[in-house]
Amino acid sequence: MRDLQLTAASRKSVPDAGEEVSLLSAYDEENSSNLRRLQVRVTGMTCAACSNSVESALMSLNGIVKASVALLQNKADVSFDPSLLKDEDIINAIEDAGFEAEILPDPSTTCSKPRGTLIGQFTIGGMTCASCVNSVEGALRKQPGVKKVAVALATSLGEVEYDPSVISKDDIISEIEDAGFEASFVQSNEQGKLLLGVTGIASEMDIQLLEGILCNLKGVRQFYFDRMSDDLEIHFDPELLGSRTIVDEIENGSYGRLKLLVKNPYTRMASKDLEESSNTFRLFTASFFLSVPILFMRVICPRIPLLYSLLLWRCGPFQMGDWLKWGLVSVVQFVVGKRFYVAAGRALRNGSTNMDVLVVLGTSASYFYSVCALLYGAITGFWSPTYFETSAMLITFVLFGKYLESFAKGKTSDAIKKLVELAPATATLLIKDKDGQVVGEREIDALLIQPGDILKVLPGTKLPADGLVVWGSSYVNESMVTGESAPVLKEVNSSVIGGTINLHGSLHIEANKVGSNTVLSQIISLVETAQMSKAPIQKFADFVASIFVPTVVTLALFTLLGWYLSGVLGAYPKEWLPENGNYFVFSLMFAISVVVIACPCALGLATPTAIMVATGVGANNGVLIKGGDALERAQKIKYVIFDKTGTLTQGKATVTTAKVFSGMDRGEFLKLVASAEAASEHPLAKSILEYARHFHFFDEPSAAKDAQNHGLDSKSYRWLLDALDFSALPGQGVQCFIGGKKILVGNRKLMTENCIAIPDHVENFVVELEESANTGVLVAYDNNLIGVLGIADPLKREAAFVIEGLVKMGVNPVMVTGDNYRAARAVAREVGITDVRAEVMPAGKADVVRSLQKGGSVVGMVGDGINDSPALAAADVGMAIGAGTDIAIEAADYVLMKSSLEDVITAIDLSRKTFSRIRWNYVFAMGYNVIAIPVAAGVLFPGLKIRLPPWVAGACMALSSVSVVCSSLLLRRYRKPRLTTILQITVE
């Protein structure tokens, strides 16, 4: 898992290997580096119609490129052009739509840039044509420290990737101005954001002191202090300031009067979710305890003469029971139920309808009818039945359903909570003097760690950040990332991952990745982004929800008119009417039941709840999923393409044989080959070098460690010969001069192009190697072929079983490789793959993917290297081995964190189980409405006298949402399939 970078990349093409990977792509709709991404917390949404209203309001703004609203998380994910819109415009649009909005901490910036670089955005004035763009880009590219430049004429914006240690943003502005244009800095992709809790604020003077310190602190861009919660939010320039510097300056500047506590943004968001759930529960309990007396008066009191006589006692124009019911229900209707009126009013002002509108219609109809019946009876003496209990029970059941939804939704985010809990809370910072000597220690918050900090890690504690070991040795438990239970030895120069556990010895580590750049933070960001994503199947649900409420209101009106006119025309007897009732009251109860029971909440929850649970379950099983669309495609996979090296094999090549075909001594032969390969970085070269070293120094066990720490200059490699004019020939091998004679190490093509004859007995030996899954490496010296090396890359132990398991699941495995066909065929035979595509270049792997897609088949690709990236991006579902390269991981839809092929089966199986659950969710959501609406409308009443009173309809409505959420929660019981089960192997 070295230098692992996880990115929530969208579906995009990745250039072929050898082609420059543009980090600052051209200005386009979704992946433009000129766009800004913002996440907003939206409060007040209750159903899919609400989320559609928010999306519509956002998309109507000029400058919005993409807006996705997640009902379940109460969040909106917005991509927009910052030159056309401000954050405040987005907030205002959401609030105008009738909801509350709050900007959340910036999502992790994901990029594949080298460590230590920033991407700055600049406004450039005075450009009039493409020639101006070229002038600016040309001027900046010449500057040292500038990595990439992209300038957009249409928006007058430029983005520059640069090394802040070499060139500053002020220097960039000066260069643009020297080129004849105006320039100003807009923002950095790593603009820091810090959330602090402040203690010690006792008066207005303390607030002014805090503001004065921040105003005088160079690098602070903006800040906001919440006087209600004493929270301080600071945006700052990471080029000029570090988070720890800000905290120290405030505490020192206030002479210790103000103390600061760093707040984790994920913890803050979780506390808000808990607060919302608690508030809903309080409203439910209040409504419940007010409704119980009403039901008691309606059901129990008539059976108790004394109590019933008290209720019948007339007090003014009404009976005492009427006064009590009216008073209790009024509190429930307008105090407890105020939130429904507010939300319904917002929706109607925005020209939309949602669940709140249905609730308000149903409860208001029963409440105001009951009030009118009382007043009519007081005036005329003709007393009609009242239905106050209907209104109260409806609100109670709706609140109960909302509480269970919020409780269940909290359960679906357990994966993120568990990941957040893995992060250490504090760290021990070593303080050094100017000579580099440790002069003290300081306990700091882990969120205040800065790159370059030297941190002390004691046995049994969590590593506070990603970094390198600079002192000490110990074993570290990395199972939380890699899934491997065996501890890993960490010594000087070893990479470590924040959140993993140091088991034995003490370590000093140098932090090199902090904040959103750590592996753990990127995993959290990836899981959160995936949970917010929408699967294509949800578009249908969103469409239905958008027309659902008007349709239901129309059905309710038809129900009311149908029953009323039928009664007036004598289509049914008066005996059906309630005591002292009339046709209108009889019809109204059916209409209210239709309005209440038909709620679109369950429909809107069917897909996102299942996706949230699935992504969390996947993360717990080492399979990171980048979105609901990836889940939907994965369940339809027909072909899975495997790269060979590093995917099916272990990626650790070893020399299996060395045969000399000249009179040269084997030791001299290996010395020549090792000397030629010493300057190469190819994995095969390293295996040859190690094999030769062991041949010469097999009695020096410390040599490997010495070489690792000191490189080839160590004593264990001084036996190598001097190689001159070294050159690596891609796809062929290497060549150089040793002792004035040319040496070639490579494949047949290299020998043929240099006119080196390959005798038949040598060719036969190489063919034998290839047919036994070895790669034959030929060696020529002074224009004569002198020997052959056989190199093998062992298969992963689970490879053959996984391939057999996929076949039994109905998935066709295919192997692609750049190796020769004989070696590839031999490997394929061992694992059981019949479809082999060998000797393909990196671009050819993508061509294989496209050829399989032509028939409409869904194709998955499993790979680990940069050369696999085009195929991973071209495939319908890309699966990157977790120990692979950053670019491969970015191009994929799934990341197999444990680097185990068994997780390919897990990924496909989980996606199938998830969409099976989503289909069941739609059955629950639609089944309630398809069956219950006709019953609520009274279809069964004429023949069977079966009807649904409004309060029973309210209970059914609440249960529909709860059943969908609970159905999704069943995915939490998912267990990854065992190969023994798939292969039907009996283990004795």
Q: Are 695 and 670 in contact (CB under 8 A)?
A: yes
For the chain, helix, strand, coil in percent to 5 are 50, 20, 30
Torsion angle defined by CA atoms of residues 854, 860, 862 and 863, in that order, rounded to the nearest 10 degrees: 50
Tokens (6 digits) for 426: 């504090």
Closest by CA position to 969, among listed 427, 549, 409: 409
E-only strand ranges, 313-385: 314-315, 318-319
Closest by CA position to 642, among listed 888, 862, 881: 862
- With tokens 């009695």, the residue in question is 699
Q: Are 912 and 635 in contact (CB under 8 A)?
A: yes
Q: Which amino acid is at 162?
A: Y
Q: Are 950 and 398 in contact (CB under 8 A)?
A: no
E-only strand ranges, 64-131: 64-70, 75-80, 100-103, 118-125
The residues that bridge with 623 in the sheet, in sequence order, are: 896
Distance CA(361)–CA(359), nearest Å, equals: 5
The residues that bridge with 736 in the sheet, in sequence order, are: 743
Q: Are 35 and 80 in contact (CB under 8 A)?
A: yes
* Crossing angle of the two packed helices 601-620 and 414-422, in degrees rounded to 10: 30
E-only strand ranges, 700-856: 724-729, 733-738, 741-746, 775-781, 784-792, 812-816, 835-837
In the DSSP assignment, the letter for residue 860 is E
Tokens (6 digits) for 567: 């009664």
Mode of pairing for the β-strands spanning 75-80 and 64-70: antiparallel
Q: Are 307 and 301 in contact (CB under 8 A)?
A: yes
Q: Are 949 and 392 in contact (CB under 8 A)?
A: no
Burial (CB count <10 Å: 0-12, 13-18, 19+), residue 727: exposed
The answer to whether 643 is a known catalytic residue is yes
In the DSSP assignment, the letter for residue 100 is E
In the set 237, 542, 643, 868, the catalytic residue is 643
**Residues noted as catalytic:** 643
